[in-house]
């Protein structure tokens, strides 16, 4: 199963390649196959305040009343009507780091645990017994354990939300489930009669597409179809 991968062009614009399974006759995305990179992008949105969401979709010329009307209303409201000027800034741009370019970055809102280095000591005879209290007597030779043990600490902490090994199926309404042959086959059962109408298509997902997905997710249950398939007249 070919999954999403991250690539970088000469213009240093990061793109994620997403594999879609399409019903050509219905002009509809049945599901997508993805890995950590794309899933982290979707979950990254959950960190965003609504004000940042509204600003992104409005700046892109998208959005329903939350962006085009509610957001613009506060933006255009004279300061004389506000109790505190800072309130307007906090609502319109609650976190300045949430620009369009940051949508493809790993989520940073949750603090990551940092490994704590503890010094260990052994005796001059290099017995395998170690202690974290200097000058403790070695249980094998009774000499003082005062020699610091050199340690190699390797951090296995991953960035983002899901693990590197995570592969998933994403349905048209952005429901995410761990990938398996059963889940993919089950999504096709009862939804398509002609296997010949199936098409696999790989699409590039950049900041623009993420904003469109964000906007579509608030307006339809067919977000993948809305963004990646042109609508028939």
pLDDT digits (tens, 9 = 90+) for 174-226: 999 888 766 777 777 767 777 778 899 999 998 889 989 988 988 889 999 99
Q: How many domains does the chain have?
A: 2
Residues 138 and 208 reside in one and the same domain: no
Q: How far is CA 201 from the centre of its chain?
A: 22
pTM over 0.75: no
User: In this structure, are residues 109 and 47 in contact, taking their beta carbons and an 8 Å threshold?
Assistant: yes
What is the per-residue pLDDT for 21?
Answer: 93
Its sign, for the CA torsion 5, 59, 45, 184, is negative
Whether the predicted pLDDT of 17 surpasses 60: yes
Residues 103 and 214 reside in one and the same domain: yes
Coil, strand or helix: which one is 41? helix
Report if residue 58 sits inside a domain: no
Residues 104 and 120 reside in one and the same domain: no
| CB neighbourhood size of 118 (10 A) | 8
Report if residue 173 sits inside a domain: yes
Residues 102 and 123 reside in one and the same domain: no
Q: What is the residue range of 135's domain?
A: 116-152
Q: What is the pLDDT of residues 64-108, one digit of tens each?
A: 676 567 777 888 888 777 777 667 777 777 655 566 666 665 554
What is the per-residue pLDDT for 155?
Answer: 46
Residues 173 and 219 reside in one and the same domain: yes
The stretches of 23-157 forming alpha helices (DSSP H) are 36-44, 50-59, 65, 72-76, 85-92
Percent of the chain with pLDDT over 70: 73
Find residue 7's DSSP bridge partners.
15
* HSE (side-chain half, CA atoms, 13 Å) at 49: 15
Closest to 187 measured CA to CA, from 201, 203, 173: 173
What is the per-residue pLDDT for 113?
Answer: 46
């Amino acid at each position: 199963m070919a999954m999403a991968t991250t690539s970088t062009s000469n213009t240093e614009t990061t793109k994620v390649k997403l594999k879609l399974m399409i019903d050509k006759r219905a002009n509809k995305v049945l599901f997508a196959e993805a890995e950590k990179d794309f899933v982290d992008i979707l979950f990254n949105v959950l960190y965003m305040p609504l004000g940042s969401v509204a600003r992104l979709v409005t700046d892109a010329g998208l959005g329903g009343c939350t962006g085009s009307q509610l957001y613009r209303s506060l933006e255009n409201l004279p300061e004389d009507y506000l109790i505190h000027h800072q309130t307007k800034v906090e609502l319109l741009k609650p976190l300045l780091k949430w620009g369009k370019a940051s949508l493809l970055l790993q989520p940073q809102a949750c603090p990551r645990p940092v490994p704590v280095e503890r010094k260990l000591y052994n005796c001059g005879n290099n017995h395998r017994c170690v202690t974290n209290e200097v000058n403790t007597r070695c249980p094998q030779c009774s000499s003082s354990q005062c020699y610091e043990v050199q340690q190699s600490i390797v951090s296995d902490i991953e960035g983002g939300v899901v693990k590197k090994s995570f592969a998933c199926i994403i349905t048209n309404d952005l429901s995410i489930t761990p990938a398996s042959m059963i889940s993919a086959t089950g999504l096709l059962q009862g939804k398509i009669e002609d296997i010949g109408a199936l098409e696999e298509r790989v699409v590039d997902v950049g900041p623009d597409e993420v904003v469109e997905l964000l906007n579509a997710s608030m307006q339809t249950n067919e977000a993948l179809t809305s963004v990646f398939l042109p609508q028939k007249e």
